[in-house]
Structure formats: C-alpha cells, structure tokens
Amino acid sequence: MITTLPKPPVLKRYFLLSLLLSVPIFLLLFSLQPKRLLATAETPSENSIYGSGDIKIRPGFASYDSYIQRQLNKTLNPKLREIWKTRDWDRKIQVFSRFFQELKQKKLLFNESKALCVGARVGQEVEALRRIGVSDSVGMDLVPCPPLVIDFHNQPFDNDTFEFEFSNVFDHALYPQKFVAEIRPGFASYDSYIQRQLNKTLNPKLREIWKTRDWDRKIQVFSRFFQELKQKKLLFNESKALCVGARVGQEVEALRRIGVSDSVGMDLVPCPPLVIGGDFHNQPFDNDTFEFEFSNVFDHALYPQKFVAEIERTLKPGGVCVLHVALSKRADKYSANDLYSVKPLVQMFKRSEVVHIRKVDGFGLDTEVVFRKQKAIPRS
C-alpha cells in the first residue's frame, strides 16, 4: 500500500517558497557587496569632478611627497598586486579590449597607433591594446612593472610622441591641470624660476632689440589685434587696461595709440612710463580694478592656476581677458608650462565664460582665447 504524505497548509507552502527564493537573492547581494566595498577602498582619489565642470582637490596632503607615499601604499600593496596579476588579469583585459575595439571601430585608434596608458599599474590595458593589434603600446606608472614606467606627473617622453593616450586615473592626479597642461621640470625653488625669467628680461641685447628693431613692428601687430577687439565691442577707449608680462611695453603703447589711454603694463622688471614692476602670480592691484586684461605670457607661468586666479581677481565683473597661447608647438626655453589643449585653460577660469577662440599669428603664439568675467549676482 502506498502511503501519501499530507499536504502542508497553504501558509506553510508560501513560507517554504519564499524561503527558497530568498536564498539566491541573498547570495547575489552577498557576491555584489564585497566588490562595491573593494572599489571604494581601493580608490584613494585626490580630486573629484562634478556635473558643473568644477574640479575639487581633496585636502589632506602636507606635501607632494606625502601624496606620492599615499599612492605607493596602494600600488605596492602585495595583496592588491597579486589580485591585479591573477584574479583581475583576464577579466580586466577583456573589458579594456572591448573599449579599445569600439574606439577602433570609430576610427579613433588604429593598429599603427603609438599608444600610452597613463597610470597603468601592472599593465592590463597595455596587454589589451596589444591583443587587439596595437602592438606599439606602453604603460606608465609610479612603480615600474616592465614595460611600465615612472610618475604620470612628469612624463618621460618628448613632445608629440603618441597618437593615442588612455587613462582611468585622472581622479588620482593631485594637480589635475598639470595632468593635461604639463609643467616643465627644472626649478628647484620659486626663486630659481624667477631668476630664470630675469635672465631673459634683463638680457641687454634682448632689451635693445625690443626697444629698437622690434618696437614698431610689434606695436603694429598688437594694434591690429586690439582694433579687431574694439570692433567686436570687447575693448573700448574708456577701458582701464592691463597688459600682463609686458616687458618693455609694446602692447601698452599699441593700446594708447588706438585710443585706450588708461593702459599700463606689468612685468618683473619695470620699464617706465609704460610698465610697472609686479609678479603675475601676485598682481599688485586691488580686486576689480580693470575692464580689460591682455597677456601673451601664459606659458611663462610656473603656477598657471594662480596666474588665472589673479587675472580674475583684478578684472571687474563683466571685464574681458584676452590670452594668446601656443598649442601647436612648444614655447621658448624660458617657458614654464606647455599647453596642449584649450580645455585645461578654460577649466582654470572659475568665474568667467569663453567669448571666442580663434587662430592668430602672434609672435609664435597661434591661438587667441577671450574670456568675460561673470557679473556679480545681486543679493535678494
């Protein structure tokens, strides 16, 4: 005789069913949670980008050495390096390969591209590039992991070396602008930087050339630039104007000749009556002093953000700043930074909007960028 077990009550059946369904859900959540925690713990980022476009540097570093040490604490962690080289190796290579294949399909990456991966740790992204056919690829990181090399704040490569660069460590850059607008090495101190600038500015042969052979020629070129700005209603005869880094004052003389009589220049070495002494990292003027500021020496700024901040401080709300910069080639040997894109320059202006960007031919500088300082919003 076959004995049948009694059916459990309906309530018990629902309880058993819900218990069985909860097990895989619990396991799924348990498997996801460590990854989320690992991602948080593994990322001692130094800056954050917000939707507004602002880049905010996180506090907590007494010096650049303390920042480097914090990065090394992660990069040299033996457990993390073991994970990167074993459990994460193939998985990450597959993901990177998919990204890079999509870029190849969009004609942004080619097998012939000379490629650099910035902040590549143990090199999964380099291996991914090589596996999809981009054989001339190399990575760069604080800790060498052949063929990986060196600190990403001081790339050990010549200008115009790569056709393709990839990075997923922008948030680890202590100096984000330096990540894309490279500061040249070689200054042991601020005094040594100032001395190098003075070596050029005080050179008697150069000063003689600036005041004689170059004088009329440069005034004519500057006058043409300024007349065009007047036609665009960006400069007026009534404008109180400052020329930053004016040497002997050709741009100031040009402004005065076209009718902008309240104009003055500023440089490390004064050249009366057109140029007064001053450091563009710390302008000797009150807030909201000028309606117009012009400079063609952005590449000479050791601290580009400070250079820009001083312009925004001394410019009146609604005032116009005009910068001439070099993008297509490296500036002269006295320059302290190299700009490869307008984007980092625009990001440095926190209280201004771009008016226009155009190509110019200005004594080795090829791009004009015009900003207008935002007007103060009246308090209600």
Q: Which pLDDT band holds residue 23 (cuts at 50, 70, 90)?
A: low
Task: Identify the domain boundary among 174, 199, 222.
Answer: 174
223 and 155 assigned to the same domain: no
Number of folded domains that form the chain: 2
Task: Answer whether residue 379 shows pLDDT above 80.
Answer: no
DSSP label at 81? H
For residues 233 and 369, membership in a common domain is answered with: yes
Report residue 150 as tokens.
């060196």
Judge whether 2 lies within some domain. no
Cα separation of 250 and 214, whole Å? 9
Query: Is residue 286 domain-resident?
Result: yes
Residue 25 covered by a domain: no
Tokens found for residue 14: 């629902």
Answer yes or no: is 328 within a domain: yes
Q: Is residue 232 part of a domain?
A: yes
Is 135 in the same domain as 221?
no
Residue 34: inside a domain, yes or no?
no
208 in the same domain as 145: no
Task: Work out the pLDDT band at 43, boundaries 50, 70, 90.
Answer: very low
Least confident segment among 63-72, 145-154, 316-325: 145-154
Q: What is the CATH number of the domain that holds 332?
A: 3.40.50.150
Does residue 263 sit within a domain? yes
Position 154 pLDDT exceeds 70: no
Higher-pLDDT residue of 302 and 331 is 302
Task: Select from 263, 264, 265, 260 the least CA-distant residue to 238.
Answer: 260
Q: Is the pLDDT of residue 365 over 80?
A: yes
Please say which residue of 117, 149, 174 terminates a domain: 174
The reply to whether 136 falls in a domain is yes
**Same domain (yes/no): 152, 222:** no
Burial 302-337 (b: 16+ CB within 10 A, else e): bbbbebbbbbbbbbbeebbbbbbbbeeeebeeebbb
Residues 232 and 364 both lie in one domain: yes
**What's the whole-number mean pLDDT along residues 300-319?**
94
Domain that holds residue 132: 57-174
Boundary of a domain, candidates 149, 174, 199: 174
pLDDT beyond 90 at 229: yes
> Does 34 or 114 have the greater pLDDT score?
114
365 and 322 belong to one structural domain: yes
Same domain, 220 and 365: yes
Residue 153 and residue 206 in one domain: no
- The DSSP element (H or E) to which 365 belongs, if any, is strand 365-373
Residues 222 and 306 placed together within one structural domain of the fold: yes
CA–CA–CA angle 359, 200, 263 (5° rounding) = 60
The pTM of this model reads: 0.55
Q: Are residues 169 and 209 in the same domain?
A: no
C-alpha 66: how far from chain center: 21
Note whether 165 and 285 are same-domain residues.
no
